[in-house]
Chain A
């Protein structure tokens, strides 16, 4: 180990060894073996027009737009969410002061799982990791004075968020066709990322995704759909090719099911954006973004018959990797996140959220958030990351790596689709792939074959205990009281009627159930009540923890 002085070695010799830089690995972080150098023969089969193309031209390998960041800069995102709506509102205002584009909200873990804050087992989870937003009234408090048809609000959440926002907009008499913002409607990803069958059964989750995309394509064409949410898939346990393969399997299944309902690719794909990670292997990530755009373009055009260039040109929303950041010597995470952000920009993404250095310790402190913003500003203004489109295009290495990531992704995609996505998820095949990936990585680290600085090598001898983010629970307590009061004050008859309509629509299984959810939410049904009703109508227990019974008397159609 680094700490110990081996017998027969002087402490000076050990100290030198501790700081020495050596090549410890010749494969990429995802496991693609690389050569010592690359040359023209490695890309001999490439046809520029067919496989690469200029930026903004099919197959968009080099970027979605001809001028890239000269015509449209990437969006600097800063995600905020903790405690009650009042707490998160304050956090958003602080983030806007530091410099961030728009409003980016993450929900607390109960809200992310469509569970109410008065669940008797989960009160301690309320306000953790995000903002508690169980009712439309809470959305109104969070967004007081903000017009959702004029201001872009990005929701980093899946379950129930879209119907909640639409319910608020409809309640306010807004024109849905002007609705701005985005969310991440991919429920299969939730199933894979630990929500599991108990919270998001694969079939019901997928049906909800398809319903959401269909509803949005019809009613809110300016709303952006972060689908697939491949970030969590990647973080959960996938390499660069795995991210593309699993994400594309979700996209293909979703678009096929939409087509069967009469919603064509060009009605929905222009609103879709890929939610991606940016992992630690710089060149591999650049190659991934390029391979991804090429696969997407060809899939839309050749697979789904798209005629609209907006469907074929993929927009990518990127969050730098949280899993690659480590607790030990946490300031090193500034370097990691800066390089990951640089990879995302060299890969031509449309928005970046740079993780804060204290991500492995706690929810971001404001000082760390400010540094994440500054990282992007340094890249934009000093480093020259925005100047030229696809700056690594034409590098023999990056082109060859792009081809390899693409080939690996297509092979894995074919394997998943030969089983069928839904079955592959339900039966645990996809989760098995993730377990395998994680286990391999862990074993390599345990054996010292894969080095993570501060974790299994160069371990700091003494470290100060890191500071944690903390905030007063006062707003959360008041918020929970307000929630209980709202439930008493509602018009019970309207609520029951709308909940029952929702129950019947879901149970019949023919029609899109989004409007029925929205109508119930407008009548002050809570998130937990609406999703609980959907669960009961599909034969599941109202409460995944099996503690609560539904408060409603349902009547079948």
Chain B
């Protein structure tokens, strides 16, 4: 195990959703915990986000939503990731995720769901469990 190699977590939003407050706060909390954050912010396209995952060699990806568009965008993102050969990178979805949609998100291939009530330790535990960098 190489202690120098940090987990690289890519965070961003898709579509017209502007509510990055939670994601910006999470980015800092993850950095404080020793995770390397690639922060893409808002207004990303699915293709742009997949490009960034590949270029930045992301170990885990987090997308956040305050609008009820997450099923659509999560599906598009996971499809595009598989098409580009990075479908194995775990994806977590956070924000205003309704419990009725948890099953659908899992079917799409989302690995972690952090809706209202999720805690920082839960998110950190998830990232550490799925995001061990290759070769570590």
- Chain A interface (Cβ < 8 Å from any Cβ of B): 109-110, 112-113, 115, 121-122, 124-125, 128-129, 193-196, 198-199, 236-237, 323, 326-328, 360-362, 434-435, 438-439, 442, 446, 455, 459, 465-466, 468, 544-545, 547
CB-based contact B98/A361 at 8 Å: yes
CB-based contact B117/A109 at 8 Å: no
CA distance A128 to B28 in the complex (A): 29
Any chain A CB within 8 A of the CB of B52? no
CB-based contact A465/B100 at 8 Å: yes
9 shortest interchain CB distances as A-B pairs: A194-B18, A327-B116, A109-B16, A124-B72, A125-B16, A438-B25, A465-B99, A128-B67, A125-B15
Per a CB cutoff under 8 Å, which of A109, A323, A442 touches B18?
A109
Per a CB cutoff under 8 Å, which of A122, A328, A362 touches B68?
A362
Per a CB cutoff under 8 Å, which of A438, A455, A465 touches B24?
A438
Interface core residue of B15, B19, B69, B115 (most chain A CB under 10 Å): B15
Per a CB cutoff under 8 Å, which of B17, B20, B45, B98 touches A547?
B45
Chain B residue, CB-CB nearest to A121: B45
- Chain A residues within 8 Å of B109, by CB: none
CB-based contact A468/B98 at 8 Å: yes
Chain A residue, CB-CB nearest to B16: A109
In addition to A236-B21, A442-B29, A545-B45, 20 A-B residue pairs with Cβ atoms within 8 Å of each other are A113-B16, A113-B18, A115-B16, A121-B15, A125-B15, A125-B69, A128-B16, A128-B67, A129-B67, A195-B18, A196-B43, A237-B21, A327-B115, A327-B116, A360-B96, A435-B24, A435-B25, A439-B29, A465-B100, A545-B43
Per a CB cutoff under 8 Å, which of B20, B69, B99 touches A128?
B69
CB distance from A242 to the nearest CB of B (A): 14
- Chain B residues within 8 Å of A442, by CB: 25, 29, 120
CB distance from B29 to the nearest CB of A (A): 7
Do A196 and B42 contact each other (CB < 8 Å), given the known contacts A326-B116, A442-B25? Answer: yes
Chain B residue, CB-CB nearest to A115: B16
- Chain B residues within 8 Å of A129, by CB: 67
CB-based contact A124/B21 at 8 Å: no
Do A198 and B120 contact each other (CB < 8 Å), given the known contacts A122-B16, A438-B21, A439-B29? Answer: no
Interface core residue of A109, A112, A198, A455 (most chain B CB under 10 Å): A109
Any chain A CB within 8 A of the CB of B126? no
Question: Which residues of B, 16-59, contact A by the 8 Å Cβ criterion?
Answer: 16-21, 24-25, 28-29, 41-43, 45-46
- Chain B residues within 8 Å of A455, by CB: 117
CA distance A323 to B20 in the complex (A): 13
Question: Which residues of B, 86-102, contact A by the 8 Å Cβ criterion?
Answer: 96, 98-100
- Chain B residues within 8 Å of A446, by CB: 119-120
Enumerate 22 A-B pairs (CB-CB under 8 Å) in ascending A order: A109-B67, A113-B18, A121-B45, A128-B68, A195-B18, A196-B41, A196-B43, A198-B42, A326-B116, A327-B96, A360-B116, A361-B98, A362-B68, A435-B28, A439-B29, A442-B29, A446-B119, A446-B120, A465-B98, A466-B98, A468-B68, A547-B45
- Chain B residues within 8 Å of A193, by CB: 18
Question: Which residues of B, 63-89, contact A by the 8 Å Cβ criterion?
Answer: 67-69, 72-73
CB-based contact A194/B29 at 8 Å: no
CA distance A128 to B25 in the complex (A): 25
Chain A residue, CB-CB nearest to B69: A124
CB-based contact B98/A194 at 8 Å: no
Per a CB cutoff under 8 Å, which of A113, A125, A439, A459 touches B67?
A125
Interface core residue of B18, B69, B72 (most chain A CB under 10 Å): B18
CA distance A236 to B22 in the complex (A): 10
Do A439 and B25 contact each other (CB < 8 Å), given the known contacts A128-B68, A326-B116, A446-B119? Answer: yes
- Chain B residues within 8 Å of A323, by CB: 21
CB-based contact A124/B42 at 8 Å: no
CA distance A327 to B116 in the complex (A): 6
- Chain B residues within 8 Å of A459, by CB: 117
- Chain B residues within 8 Å of A121, by CB: 15, 45-46
Interface core residue of B17, B20, B24, B41 (most chain A CB under 10 Å): B24
CB distance from A121 to the nearest CB of B (A): 6
Question: Which residues of B, 108-124, contact A by the 8 Å Cβ criterion?
Answer: 115-117, 119-120
- Chain A residues within 8 Å of B96, by CB: 327, 360-361
CB distance from A87 to the nearest CB of B (A): 15
CB distance from A389 to the nearest CB of B (A): 36
CB distance from A451 to the nearest CB of B (A): 14
Interface core residue of A112, A128, A326 (most chain B CB under 10 Å): A128
CB distance from B106 to the nearest CB of A (A): 16
CB distance from A311 to the nearest CB of B (A): 32
CB distance from A80 to the nearest CB of B (A): 17
- Chain A residues within 8 Å of B19, by CB: 194
Chain A residue, CB-CB nearest to B14: A121
- Chain B residues within 8 Å of A122, by CB: 15-16
Do A199 and B21 contact each other (CB < 8 Å), given the known contacts A360-B96, A362-B68? Answer: no
